[in-house]
């Protein structure tokens, strides 16, 4: 048996609109982000999830509540964005230029640190949710970590092939845990 995962990202935040990298700061959905979450609710209305996990950061919790309000929603800190440390809330240009694959942000994490959190989360899914369909709603770095952990990509491949570069958003990405 396996666990099916459909991965969703939180709606646009006021920080996103100002090109600020929120990191472990809570963040707030913008009007566009609220609209996106409500539209996501319509897009996934007919899908059946046994449980919805989301990052415990406000922007993800708010999106989950708007999109999956009638489902069991479990916030999980392992699904948080990468901790940019001293750069939480800094400009996106400054944060995204940092070589986070090779080293941790000052007083923060590296992408491989996020991978460790996701490996732990996936192990929990294997143990507790075999045969289930799980929704996960979180952020960029955890999604890239899912690509590394479950699709066998290198970190550089995951970053280079990220849908954010190609502007190819979709209403959920499929993963499977065997």
Q: What percent of the chain has pLDDT over 90?
A: 91
pLDDT of residue 53: 98
DSSP character for 171?
Answer: S
Give the tens place of pLDDT for each residue, 118-133: 999 999 999 999 999 9
**Locus of tokens 């709603």:** 137
Annotated catalytic residue: which of 10, 109, 115, 139?
10
Active-site annotation holds for 94: no
Annotated catalytic residue: which of 31, 81, 102, 133?
81
d(CA 153, CA 141): 14
pLDDT category at 167 given cuts 50, 70, 90 is confident
- Token pair of 64 as six digits: 């989950």
Return all residues near 145 (Cβ < 8 A) that are at least 6 apart: 111, 114, 115, 117, 118, 158
Give the tens place of pLDDT for each residue, 48-73: 999 999 999 999 999 999 999 889 99
Active-site annotation holds for 10: yes
pLDDT of residue 70: 86
d(CA 24, CA 170): 24
Q: Which domains occur in the chain, in start order? A: 3-177 (3.40.50.1240)
**Locus of tokens 């609209």:** 35
Phi then psi for 38, rounded to 5 degrees?
A: -65, -40
pLDDT category at 45 given cuts 50, 70, 90 is confident
Give the tens place of pLDDT for each residue, 134-155: 999 999 999 999 999 999 999 9
């Amino acid at each position: 048996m396996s666990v099916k995962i459909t991965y969703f990202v939180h709606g646009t935040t006021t920080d996103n609109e100002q090109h600020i990298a929120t990191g472990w700061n809570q963040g707030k959905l913008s009007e566009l982000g609220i609209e996106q979450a409500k539209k996501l609710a319509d897009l996934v209305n007919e899908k059946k999830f046994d449980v919805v996990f989301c990052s415990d950061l406000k922007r993800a919790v708010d999106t989950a509540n708007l999109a999956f309000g009638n489902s069991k929603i479990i916030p999980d800190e392992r699904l948080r964005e990468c901790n940019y440390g001293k750069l939480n809330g800094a400009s996106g240009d400054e944060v995204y230029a940092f070589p986070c694959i090779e080293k941790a942000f000052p007083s923060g994490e590296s992408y491989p640190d996020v991978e460790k959190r996701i490996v732990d989360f996936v192990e929990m899914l294997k143990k507790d949710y075999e045969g289930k369909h799980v929704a996960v709603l979180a952020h960029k770095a955890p999604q890239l970590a899912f690509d590394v952990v479950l699709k066998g990509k290198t970190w550089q491949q995951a970053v280079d092939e990220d849908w954010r570069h190609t502007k190819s958003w979709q209403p959920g990405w499929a993963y499977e845990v065997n």
